[in-house]
Structure 1
């Protein structure tokens, strides 16, 4: 039976007070998508607002030499232009899907980080022992999630990764962020944030049913870790 994966994208398109656009980051969905499809997985894509989930225009420009991203951009637009509204499926999602995945981009820092429906869905997947995965800024969706069984942060005691403070500084967006993801992940995990030896290198961490990747280079590896967890 084909595994069913729920992908949750951001609905947020404004990059803080910079006047620039943001959203989800192209290769962070495109690369896992290739892995999911090769494994025969069925995908449902949801977002807080439903409908069009904004694609970060910078990620399109940055990925124009990446065949996977270009193909995904040109052939799969319906996936992000016609997303399901998350609260419409939230109550049954953890029963109906086998894994949950949050791609990154700066958008999740502004909406998914504080979205109660998204947090409820993630908590429900975790309570059933199903994979909960995120890459780059996607782990912002997990920082506020509480484990319904313990009342503690879902990430407490978990080794995790996500976009590093050094990487945020390198792209010049430290001051535009509502919080720094590395710092928050380190706080809620109890000091168990880890990162690659150098910025922009791939880093994927699997701790129980929580799967996290540091940056765009980690996206394929996160997809592979999800598929492995489901096999």
Structure 2
């Protein structure tokens, strides 16, 4: 497969807003530690690199990305210490060779440069809730990929970034009517129980703007959804399948 350029969208946030419903902070909005979900970034990223593609990292202001602490736990890797080490080493390598710790600010991209990219990928983690959904510069980027029908992939909380298209152009949601899979409200409700607070619901937010949310057993256990140029997955279990399917889209 010829080498192509892929833009990877990251959040600058190391936390997300959590409205506490229990404990001493009940009723207050606190900053809950978060960041990118390691597996959701590392697995598709490794596949892109193995295929010989060139990746460019971008974020709202170009700040160093933070991994979600939960995604680095052995529990997240079902006890597989070697897999966790391998994926952490990949990120360390990206810092040394691909500018991962210095992402390009969204505002530095124009349409001429965006035209050189074959696709765009948005990993999850709760961090996108903090700064991606309402970023007008990201909205311009995603509108360009949508207009040009270029492969666009997002996983878990990553699809929340699609809402940014309403902050650019004519203010419309360009993915209105698209079939999309994301972290579900049911999954977020479970997280709310663990965190003792209320979290913005990705699936509900997308549905409210006209997206057709695809849920079910398949999506809970790693299934992906492709509609036009948009490929989405619901949780870390979809990372491998989404990476494989995204590569096929890039090869067309």
CA displacement at 1:150 relative to structure 2 = 8.1
Report if the CA contact (8 A) 1:186-1:193 is conserved: yes
Report if the CA contact (8 A) 1:108-1:140 is conserved: yes
The answer to whether the aligner puts 1:228 opposite 2:248 as a matched pair is yes
CA displacement at 1:93 relative to structure 2 = 4.2
Q: CA separation in 2, counterparts of 1:174 and 1:164?
A: 18
Match of 2:190 among 150, 163, 170: 170
Match of 2:156 among 136, 153, 170: 136
The answer to whether the aligner puts 1:59 opposite 2:79 as a matched pair is no
RMSD: 2.4
Three-state SS of the structure 1 residue aligned to 2:203 is helix
Match of 1:48 among 57, 60, 67: 60
Show the counterpart of 1:4.
5
Three-state SS of the structure 1 residue aligned to 2:173 is coil
| Structure 2, unpaired ranges of 5+ | 18-28
Q: CA separation in 1, counterparts of 2:213 and 2:160?
A: 13
Show the counterpart of 2:205.
184
CA displacement at 1:171 relative to structure 2 = 1.7
Q: CA separation in 2, counterparts of 1:58 and 1:188?
A: 30
Show the counterpart of 1:89.
109
Query: Which stretch shows the higher mean deviation, 142-151 or 122-131?
Result: 142-151
Superposition misfits of 4+ residues, deviation over 3 angstroms:
17-20, 66-69, 90-93, 146-152, 173-176
Task: Provide TM-score, normalisation by structure 1.
Answer: 0.89
Q: CA separation in 2, counterparts of 1:211 and 1:175?
A: 30
Show the counterpart of 1:217.
237
Report if the CA contact (8 A) 1:131-1:210 is conserved: yes
Residues 79-118 of structure 1: pairs in structure 2 closer than 5 A: 80-118=100-138
Cα pair distance change 1:206/1:68, threshold 3 Å:
farther
Cα pair distance change 1:151/1:18, threshold 3 Å:
closer
Q: CA separation in 2, counterparts of 1:159 and 1:199?
A: 12
Structure 1 or 2, whichever has the larger Rg, is 2
Q: CA separation in 2, counterparts of 1:71 and 1:139?
A: 26
CA displacement at 1:86 relative to structure 2 = 2.1
Three-state SS of the structure 2 residue aligned to 1:145 is helix
Q: Which has the higher strand share?
A: 2
Cα pair distance change 1:39/1:65, threshold 3 Å:
same
| Structure 1, unpaired ranges of 5+ | none
Q: CA separation in 2, counterparts of 1:144 and 1:43?
A: 22
- Paired residues in the alignment total 229
